Structure 1
Amino acid sequence: MGVTQTHREEHKDESVRPGPAAATAVPVDEPPRPDRIRRPSDAIRFAASVAGLVAVMLLVLFAFAQQTTHGLQTDITQGTAHAPRFLLTLATLVSSFGVLAVPVAFAVERLFHKDGVRVAIGLLAAVIAFAVTVLLDDLVISSAPGGVLDSLIWGGTETAPVHTDIAPVIAFVTAVGMAGRARWQAVTWTMIGLAALTGLTAAYASVAALAATYFLGRAIGHGTLYAVGTPNPRPPGLAVVAALERLGLRTLRARRLSDDEDEVRRYGVRIAHSPDAVPTDGSGVALPRGDWQLEVSVLDRDQQTAGVLYRVWRLVRLREAAPRRPVRSLRRSLEQESLMAYAVDAAGARTPRLVGTSEVGTEAALVAYEYVPGRRLDDVPDEDLTDAVLTDVWGQLKRLQSARLAHRRLEGGAFLISERGRAYLIDLRSGEIAAGDLTLRLDLAQLLTTLALRVGPERAVHTAARVLGEKALAAAVPLLQRVALSRDTRAALRHDRELLTRIREQIVRLGPEGEAPPIRLERFRPRTIFSIVALTVAAYIVVPQLSSVDPVQLVAGAKWWWMGVALGAAALTYLAAAFMLMGFVPEKLPLGRTVLVQVAASFVKLVAPAAVSGVALNTRYLQRSGVRPGPAVASVGASQLMGMAMHILLLILFGFITGSTGNATRDLAPSRTIVIVLLALAVLTAITLTIPRVRRFATRRLKSMFSGVVPRLVDVLQSPKKIITGLGGSLLLTVAFVVCLDASVRAFGESLPWTAVVVVFLTANAVGSAAPTPGGLGAVETALTVALTISGLTAEAATSAVLLFRLLTLWLPVLPGWAAFAYLQRKEAI
């Protein structure tokens, strides 16, 4: 239920107190304001603090970070060693007392001002911070890798990695909020800084530990503030009315038009009669006077950061003609919307006339438009969306594009359909003037999709063609991509996945010669981000191991004859891969050129996941060799399928043999473990496939990869020679890699049972094929090192053997692979 307020009520917030013009009682109908709100900015600051904490914990593992922090601490200790002992003692005493006394004094001061809720929230954050720091000190960090603990503790094992005396204070200060109280803020942070400095001077604190403590305290403070909420700073409707009266608009009545607190607040306002206040339809014809004459949009300061993470993601991910700011100040947002309103009106497009703008206290601003009776496009029934209405909508877009104005949010809420069926452009806050061609085409693609979702692609395209012409529509075809559309539109497309394809088909039918190639809008794909994260995690694991290896000593201590054996086995893998491909292609392929293709794949797999690069290159090679595209894909799929089947069979067989011998590899792959792993994978796969989206994705990928494989296998089965070549090549490939890994181990004076080496390689190769990183980088090294260590090798020997193995199979072939790739391209073989 809404409540009616008048200007005679008292206001608790001085920043929104009405002025003298509010003497007359004006009823304002709006729902009760929530006492507390969750600000998006608190969630963003919480996420940033957590990211900072994670960054500190990762950096302390690297040698350069440890040396930098230890050097800084040494400089501070030596620099303060010459200071008078009296001053150091005084600073320690002041900081130890002040770091707790100042927050207590601030809390008492707030209690005197009846601000106990704020103090209670700060106290809650401090208690949580204390509990978390104690838990981290006693349980979590003490169990972390040695590099983390050694870098956080400096000056003795009695030092706590996270400081329980500072973290609660930082959490309290963050949650209680000292904005606008510069003196309290300065004194409090001075005490915190002094306490940190004296901790460094006395060598019971480290730079890394203090940084971790700071980010932890800030994260807990902002997290508590977001969970509990902050006092609502948004001005009520009475303050909005008072701001209108300062513009000279005498208000008679106002009512909130939107109840959602997460959207822009809109008010319908009735003002005293004035000729200038009579709304028109843009051509001078007066609109029918309804209950309201003005529609007022209120821009709240706390809403400016809403959706900022999504906007940053879109800004970084998509290619745009002009950079945009993901976060705008309240003043800039007000200016942007006002500028767009004037520009749209000047372009001749229909939009409610801007009446005035004003700040509303310090926490909001308003934009007042003439009120136009009507419904937003989303709310218009399908039967009322006639061709005349659609044509008028396209006419407004044409005027925008002619003036090079971009709306950037052409969804159902961007148009108001008046009672006379005329379209008005609204919601201009994201608009852009002097827009580039790409931005204008994105607007066209968005509106095409928006209308097609309502009336179907046929009507949307044909009404657009009447107004814009076939050539303009053809320019939008390459941009009809999901990534180019708004978040709500992409969600709606989940119910009609073929809609974009149908829109393209309708446009192409109008002018087939106008079809344009697709445009890549993404700077990078989500898969790229995943690969970067995977490489980072791999570096986190592998780099500490590599730091203990001396490359000179590694080479000098290796046995060269075993390195020669490993090199020969690595070279043999390319011949085996060529046999494997040739065995599943009924057509005859030249052996030398097929081997060159496999060498070229060693270069390509550094820029694509290992399981993808070889498939694409071999398919291309077969097509260039005269094999039709369908059979080419089927042949490569058949070889991959048989290779995967043999890989799984060998893994199970040698895992069972290894688990039954009672040797040092018992922990790596005992038969019981193999069964448990397989059952767990089966259960996980079954659970995953219950998700419709995952099931459809897996079906689509498998169908595209292995479509036509069975008929191709039937063709191959008719030739025993081909079967022997294909299966023999697959087996030879595994044998060559196993020999290379075994020789790499023996090159450093170590050895393992050959069955264990087989299991280690097969396991690591499976991990590398599944990893999204180029060549399985990071995943293979980690899996091999861990498996060899479990099998009985020392960490140093395992790391050295893995480095040699990957050098021979991944890095050394890059240059020959590039040469083979360039040669095959010149010969048009790929």
Structure 2
Amino acid sequence: MGGGSENAAVRSVARVRRPNDVVQLLTAAAGLGLIVLLTLTTPDAVDTVDRTVPTVVRDPLLTLFSLASVVASLAMLGVLGTVAVDAARHRRAALLQALAAGLLGLLLGAIGERVGDGAGGVVADVLTGPRDDAALVPVVATIAFLVGADLQRRRRWRAPSRWVVLAALVCGVALGNLTLQGTVAAVLLGAVAGLAVRLAAGVTPARPVDDVLRAELARAGVVVGDLEVVDQHAGLVRLTGTDACGPVGVTVVDPDGRGLPLVRRAGRMLRFRAAVVGRPSLSQRGDLEREASSAALAGAAGVPVPAVLALLAVGPALVLVERPLPGTPLTEAGDAAEAGLAAAFTALRRLHAVGLAHGALTPDSVLLGPDGAAGFRDLRAAQPAAGELQRDLDTVALLVGGATVVGSEAAVAALRAARAPGPMPPRVPALLQPVALPASVRRAVRGTELLAELRRALAGPDGTVAAAPRLERFSLRVIVTVGASTVAAFLLASQLSQVSIVDELGRAHAPWLLVALGGSALTYLGAALALIPFVPVALSLARTTLVQVSSAWLTLVTPPTVGHVGLNIRFLQRAGLTVSAAAASVAVSQVATVASTVLLLLVVGWASGVSTSRLSLVPSGDVLLVLLAAVAVVGLLAAIAPVRRLLHSRLEPLLRQSLPQLLAVATEPRRLATALGGILLQNAGYVLALDASLRAFDVSLALPTVIGVYLVSSAVGSVAPTPGGLGAVEAALIGGLTATGVPVAGALAAVLAFRAVTFWLPAPVGWVAFVQLQRRRYI
């Protein structure tokens, strides 16, 4: 078919809105809002950044950049004219769209200039530039015109326009006609204008219409009748038809639908380790190409999969044509399901033998042929050259999915039968965790004991399971903590920018800093006293204290409590305990410390509201409201079944393991007093260090307030993923102190001093202690 008839067919289709344009518009608007917000809230910092970008004021560079600016301006006019002529010849709707976007850009640029002039100060100087020769409005209008012209499918003009715009912007910044922040803001504002018009008007779809698609298929030797859409989502359309040989599946990658899949896949790559996701393509076009090559690999391995008939480029779209695999899904196999699952494991082994991982195995994706052979419905998520972990994840997905159909015992038997010639992968039992499963399988086993049953059936003779490999890069806790820390840092940025840290630290009272250092030293003695009563063997107090000091070195490289717990377990092993006994002793000590700290926080919160003038032990209404709200939150969480099950699964083993030792300690007053004394001494040392750090800068707070601020910040730091709670503790302390009325300058200086004596200064001492303990084989 000729190009003219194809263009006519495309022009007859209604205009569409690209999901990718929505993503870009939201991103540009968010970036523009962030720049404006930073300029309004931290004007001094923004002005400082602006002054770091030099401008050209002397010859010969001034003359050189002036000539370059003239050339870039002329080139810009040439590009705009060329784009307009090209659009008028081939895409008249795009020309009207570009003109509308340019006019909107002019309007928004002019409004931005007027708003900046009205705001004055740094906003006018940094964002809108100098009034005598400002270039904000032309930049916004130019960017809006080019974005509105939709150069996405006009590659010959897209690259030149970008280089010309970049050259013009560099010359504008160098000559002082634009600031760096103003340039970014102008580009984002122009993009917002162009994308808004593009979304409002729509664009000509890139996906070929059915007539064009059938003609291209006929040229490839596949003559089909009517095509019916069976699945359609962002960037991908799946159709079915029939030729002389039977059903035909057609998959079309639509360039207009890009954006959302890229975001999802990029998020998956960030969340999971590379060994889990492999090397996924970030485009659906790459996915389709990989699916075709994976089908060829599977065919070479003798595994039944859909046969690829053609892979065609139809304009900017990519089309995959395949013959669907006939067969009965495993979920509908009835009495033949057990034998079919064993055949599926055998087929999976053949896939793995040629280095191919399926990537999305569910019971519905397994098809059983009349001869009992098993194949796979599709290879959309297949990964060639897959690693060992990806292949093990395939095995786990098929095992769990098959168990939902035939039961756990039959699924394990099918796996063992297929693995008879080779050993069972040792990591399979450890990988039986929800995060390792496809979404549909994960939903099917939610709230059941199936994973636990499979794990027990696959465990070794002694009931042990290999250590589970880490699948995720970042857990939900890490994401929440980083987000909260970022928000806290942003809220404090405007205030901290007004503080001279050097001046504040220079006026510190050295005696109080020495007291703070002494309080820090007490914490290690308290930690040793909190551990010794829970250990069934005699420990030296000095040596145990030295172990706690050495943990200060590990906090520089491990999250809080992780290095501390691991070091104590190693120390108790060297003292003669088994691994399980050492872990149990440390766990009991940690449970007692957490319980005592929570109780202390409640007591302090109650005491902080007691009115001494009324000679009453009844706290204020505010404290009662806080306690009531806390009880209500806990009650609501406990009322949610999934949360209740999660808490039960996490806390029940720990309590079952630690409760006998806690009761044993409670029956011996001496050990109980030692443990409580150690916990109180540890907290008292930190509180003393914080109070002395405040007094070193002439700040004084009531003792219950200091204790409350420390305990809250300690809780924040204990869940932060950073070494020693770095960043999270500082933000929580500064936020808590400023909330109690402490000036920002004093709070910042006191927190820096507190963290220096409790986190940074003990680290080198801890390293020396760590080395000595290792040499003497105590750890």
For normalisation by structure 2, the TM-score amounts to 0.79
Aligned with residue 494 of structure 1, among 446, 460, 476: 446
2:602 pairs, out of 648, 657, 667, with: 648
In 2 relative to 1, CA 423–63 (structure 1 residues): closer, same or farther, beyond 3 Å?
farther
8 Å CA contact 1:49, 1:216 repeated in 2: yes
* Change in 2 beyond 3 A, CA 1:14/1:821: farther
- In 2, Cα distance between the equivalents of 1:83 and 1:467? 74
Match of 1:444 in 2: 395
Q: Match of 1:359, SS?
A: strand
The separation in 2 between residues aligned to 1:784 and 1:416, in whole angstroms, is 59
SS in 1 for 2:239: strand
In structure 2, what is the Cα distance between the partners aligned to 1:64 and 1:643? 40
User: Cα distance 1:789–1:361, how it changes in 2: closer, same or farther (>3 A)?
Assistant: closer
After superposition, the Cα gap between the structure-2 partners of 1:137 and 1:552, relative to the gap in structure 1 and judged at 3 Å, is closer
Match of 2:303 in 1: 349
Residue 75, structure 1, aligned to residue 56, structure 2:
yes
User: 1:462 aligns to what?
Assistant: 413
**What one-letter code is carried by the residue in structure 2 that aligns with 1:568?**
G
Task: Indicate if the aligned counterparts of 1:304 and 1:327 stay in contact, CA closer than 8 A.
Answer: no
Equivalent AA in structure 2 for residue 240 of structure 1: L
Partner Cα separation in structure 2 for residue 775 and residue 658 of structure 1: 38
Alpha-carbon deviations, 1:94-128, whole Å to 9, x = none?
Answer: 99xx89x9899789959994569957995998699
**How much does 1:806 deviate?**
1.1
Following the alignment from structure 2 to structure 1, what is the Cα–Cα distance between the partners of residues 421 and 21? 48
Counterpart Cα distance in 2 of 1:638 and 1:242: 75
1:808: how far off? 0.4
- Note the 1:92-107 alignment, pairs <5 A: none
> What's the CA shift for 1:479?
4.1
Alignment of 1:593 onto 2:543: yes
Partner of 1:253: 225
Change (3 A) 1:625 1:792: farther
Determine the structure 2 residue equivalent to 1:327.
282
The worse-fitting range, judged by mean Cα deviation, of 383-392 and 621-630 is 621-630
Whether the 8 Å CA contact 2:228–2:241 is kept in 1: the answer is yes
Per-residue CA deviations over 1:635-677 (Å, capped at 9, x if unaligned) read 431232123201321233135469999xxxxxxxx95654454
The structure 2 residue matched to 1:485, chosen from 430, 437, 440, is 437
Consecutive unaligned residues of structure 1, counting only runs of 5 or more, are: 1-6, 18-32, 272-276, 278-291, 662-669
CA contact under 8 A between 2:694 and 2:747: conserved in structure 1?
A: yes
Code of the residue aligned with 1:485 in structure 2: it is: L
Instruction: Give SS of 1:72's match.
Output: coil
The CA distance in 2 between the partners of 1:500 and 1:650, in whole Å, is 44
Contact 2:569/2:582 (<8 A) preserved: no
Q: Does 1:742 align with 2:721?
A: no
Relative to structure 1, the CA distance from residue 651 to residue 89 in structure 2 (aligned partners, 3 Å threshold; closer, same or farther) is same
1:568 aligns with 2:518: yes
SS in 2 for 1:816: helix
| Equivalent runs, 1:783-798 vs 2, <5 Å | 783-789=732-738, 791=740, 793-798=742-747
What amino acid does structure 1 have at the position aligned with 2:51? H
Question: CA 1:781/1:333 → structure 2, altered by over 3 Å: closer, same or farther?
Answer: closer
Q: What code does the residue aligned with 1:265 have?
A: R
Decide whether aligned partners of structure 1 residues 641 and 611 sit closer, same or farther in structure 2, where only a CA change above 3 A counts. farther
Residues 395-445 of structure 1 deviation map (CA, whole Å, 9 limit, x = unaligned): 432332333333333334544444665433342344444544444333333
Of 10, 18, 21, the match for 1:42: 21
Match of 1:602 in 2: 552
1:745 CA drift (Å):
3.0
Partners of 1:659 and 1:768 in 2: CA distance: 36
The alignment's C-alpha RMSD in Å is 5.3
Once residues 462 and 112 of structure 1 are traced to their aligned partners in structure 2, the CA distance between those partners, rounded to angstroms, is: 63
Q: What SS class does the counterpart of residue 265 from structure 1 fall into?
A: strand
The CA deviation at 1:812 is 0.8
Q: What does residue 234 of structure 1 align with?
A: 207
CA contact (8 A) 2:597 2:711 kept: no
Whether the 8 Å CA contact 1:128–1:220 is kept in 2: the answer is: no
CA positional deviation for 1:267: 2.0
Return the offset for 1:507.
3.7
Q: Is the 8 A contact 2:311 2:319 kept in 1?
A: yes
SS of residue paired to 2:55:
helix
Distance 1:600 1:644 in 2: 26
**1:493-642 paired onto structure 2 within 5 Å:** 493-496=445-448, 498-508=449-459, 516-523=466-473, 525-530=475-480, 532-533=482-483, 557-582=507-532, 589-610=539-560, 614=564, 624=575, 626=577, 630=584, 633-642=587-596
Deviation for aligned residue 1:336:
3.4
Q: Is the 8 A contact 1:318 1:522 kept in 2?
A: yes
Instruction: Tell me the residue number matched to 1:781.
Output: 730
Give me the whole-angstrom Cα distance separating, in 2, the residues matched to 1:224 and 1:814. 58
Give 1:518's aligned amino acid: A
Q: CA deviation at 1:542?
A: 6.8
Read off the aligned partner of 1:326 and give its amino acid letter. Answer: S
Shift of 1:630: 4.5
In structure 2, what is the equivalent of residue 288 of structure 1?
none
Matches within 5 A, 1:760-775: 760-769=709-718, 771-775=720-724
Q: Is the Cα contact below 8 Å between 1:49 and 1:215 reproduced in 2?
A: yes
* Per-residue deviation, 1:242: 0.8
* 1:187–1:512 CA distance, 2 compared to 1 (3 A): closer
Instruction: Flag the 1:42–1:203 CA change in 2: closer, same or farther, 3 A.
Output: same
Output aligned runs, 1:405-420, within 5 Å: 405-412=356-363, 414-418=365-369
1:265 corresponds to: 238
Deviations along 1:594-631, one digit per CA (max 9) or x if unpaired, are 32233233334444554666566556656756557556
Q: Partners of 1:132 and 1:698 in 2: how far apart?
A: 55
Partner of 1:819: 768
Aligned pairs for 1:644-793 (under 5 A) are: 644-656=598-610, 671=620, 673-707=622-656, 712-752=661-701, 757-769=706-718, 771-789=720-738, 791=740, 793=742
Q: For residues 390 and 473 of structure 1, do their structure 2 counterparts lie closer, same or farther at Cα, with a shift above 3 Å needed?
A: same
| Residue 742 to residue 40, structure 1, CA distance change in 2 (3 Å) | same
CA separation of 1:486 and 1:71: change in aligned 2, threshold 3 A: same
Q: Gaps spanning 5+ residues in structure 2: where?
A: none
Q: CA offset at residue 214 of structure 1? A: 2.2
CA deviations 1:785-810 (Å, max 9, x no partner) are 34444555543333222211110011
**Alignment: residue pair count:** 766
In 2, the alpha carbon distance for the partners of 1:306 and 1:711 equals 53
1:512 deviation in Å?
7.6
Following superposition, the deviation at residue 554 of structure 1 comes to 5.9
CA contact (8 A) 1:389 1:423 kept: yes
Deviation readout 1:300-351 (Å, 9 max, x if unpaired): 4446666333333443422329952422473x55543443333322322233
Identity within the alignment, %: 32
Conserved 8 A contact 1:638-1:709? no
Pair 492,312 (structure 1): closer, same or farther in 2 beyond 3 Å: farther
Alignment partner of 1:453 out of 404, 418, 423: 404
**Counterpart in the other structure of 1:363:** 317
C-alpha contact (below 8 Å) 1:597/1:820 kept by paired residues: yes
1:181-216: per-residue Cα shift (whole Å, max 9, x none)? 579868987997698678757857421122134235
Alignment CA distance shift 1:799-1:151 (3 Å): farther
| Distance of aligned partners of 1:643 and 1:325 in 2 relative to their CA distance in 1, 3 Å threshold | closer
- For residues 174 and 490 of structure 1, the distance between their equivalents in structure 2, rounded to whole angstroms, comes to 42
